[in-house]
Structures are given as C-alpha cells and as structure tokens.
Amino acid sequence: MTKQRIEEAYNFLISNTSDSPELLIILGSGLGDYAESLEDINKISYLDVPGFPKPTVVGHEGNLVFGKKHGKNIVVMQGRFHCYEGYSPAETVIPIRTMIKLGIKSMMITNAAGGVNESFNPGDLMVITDHINLAGFNPLIGKNDDEMGPRFCDMSYAYNKDLGKILFEGAEKLKIKLQQGVYCLWTGPSFETPAEIVMSRVIGADAVGMSTVPEVIAANHAGIRCAGISCITNMAAGMLDQPLNHEEVLETGKRVSEKTKLLIDYFVSKI
C-alpha cells in the first residue's frame, strides 16, 4: 500500500518539478523559514501531493519547497509527519521514500528536542551523533522491498561522520556554539515524565524528541547519507521546576532560527 502511495507521489512531483534534487533538508518546529532563502522556488503543499499524509501539527507549514542554493538543487520539507498523529511508521517516511526516488543523495534533518544532558541550555544546537529508539516501532517492519534496500539495514553509521565534520567546521567559522550527542526517540505526543528522562540519561541520551529516527532509518535503508541537528528548545521534564508546553518549543525554535539557518547554509555550500 505505501509503495503505491510513493509511486503516486513520485509521478505527481516528477511532472510538477524540473530539476532532480540532490539534497533533502527536513525542517522541524519553528525552523521552516530557511526554505524562503532558496532561489527559483517551487512550493508545493503536502495537501496537493497524492499519497502524502496530511499535516496536523501547529508550527509545521506542510510544504515541499524545491529550489537552488549555492548551485545545488535542493528540496526542503517544511514540517514532517509523526506516528503520534495516527500514522504508521511506514506512512511517516513516504515523503523521504519519494525524495529518494526523485534522486536525493544526502539528507539534512533538523528537529526540536528536549535537553537531557545537564550541560545543555535551551537554545543550544546539537549535532546528532547517534540515536536510541525507545518508541517500539520501525518503518522497515513488514515485508521488505529489495528495490528500496536490504532486509537487514546496517545502522552503524546512521549519521555520516564526514557530514558531521562539515557542521563542526561551519560552527567554528560562524562562531556558533555547537553541542554533540545522542538523540532518543519517544512516541509522544505527551512529553516524557521525569522518571523517563532519568532513564534516558542513564542509557546515554543527550536529548529526547518525537521524530527523526524513522526518517533516518528509511534514508539509511536506501544508502542515503544523513546529518542531523537538534535545536534544544527546552530542558526535559524534571530538569527545571516548570511544566513543558509546545509554545515554548516554537518560541525557542524561532529565537535560534537565524544561527540554525546560517549553519544549514554553510552545510549546503560545502556538501
């Protein structure tokens, strides 16, 4: 079923776009406006793409933006899909599978995350070096399609080290403080409990969130290089004596969007 939806989306996009993108950038909560900096923009709403899920999350604009930057053909996703919206893991990665079919070779993924590492502060950016999947789901569950990738997908280098080096080089040149660490996936949509955050820290997590991991698994399945940045929009439950809310996530995402855009732009220029 998802393969048919990928094919429908691909056929629609191939007839409504010109150049094949080489890089996919996924923009998380509060970070969507980087897409407006592209040249020769062709913006397509997710609602218009047959086979795509429909966006439901506030702060996710829900557009594919095709364009050029630094001489490269790029497609940007303004917003993503989550299992907590009611979609299966395989459905959440239909856009990634479609972009792979369109020809992307690399993927830059961003997200809003809660800080678990006690040395982090809201507003920090973190290069994702690895992830922990505590959600109990995987987009590769079910019959494998050998055209998409192997039955057993190696995740030893889920986040490409060479691409990570570009991010650190950019941060040094731009004088942007850059953390690094492990991203831990929880299902959401409820925020984690303080006890769950303690557990996450004990097993090696530096940040927690509700996205990214299925997308990175799907990309690695197809041999696509990945880089990831988490915007630490809040400290996770129990770390500060205050409740959590999505408005704080959006507000912090917007506050740090300028330095995030600068770092992404450096990455695009060097990849």
CATH number, residue 165: 3.40.50.1580
Q: Which of 42, 246, 248, 251 is catalytic?
A: 246
AA letter at 54: K
Domain holding 126, by residue range, is 2-270
103, pLDDT greater than 60 = yes
Active site residue 131: no
Phi-psi region of 96 (alpha: psi -120 to 50; beta: other; left: phi over 0): alpha
Find the range with the poorest average confidence among 28-32, 38-42, 85-89, 189-193. 28-32
Local confidence band at 245 (pLDDT 50, 70, 90 cut-offs): low
State how many domains the chain has.
1
Mean pLDDT of 168-194: 95
238, pLDDT greater than 60 = no
Nearest one of 113, 121, 106, 133 to 230, comparing CA atoms:
113
Active site residue 234: yes
Q: Which of 84, 135, 138, 257 is catalytic?
A: 84
Mean pLDDT of 113-120: 94
Active site residue 112: yes
Active site residue 85: yes
Active site residue 135: no
AA letter at 130: D
Active site residue 211: yes
Q: Show the tokens assigned to 21.
A: 């993108």
Active site residue 230: no
**Interior CA angle at 70 toward 179 and 218, to 5°?**
55
Cα atoms found within 13 Å of the Cα of residue 62, Cβ hemisphere only: 14
106-115 and 207-209 as β-strands: parallel, antiparallel, unpaired?
A: antiparallel
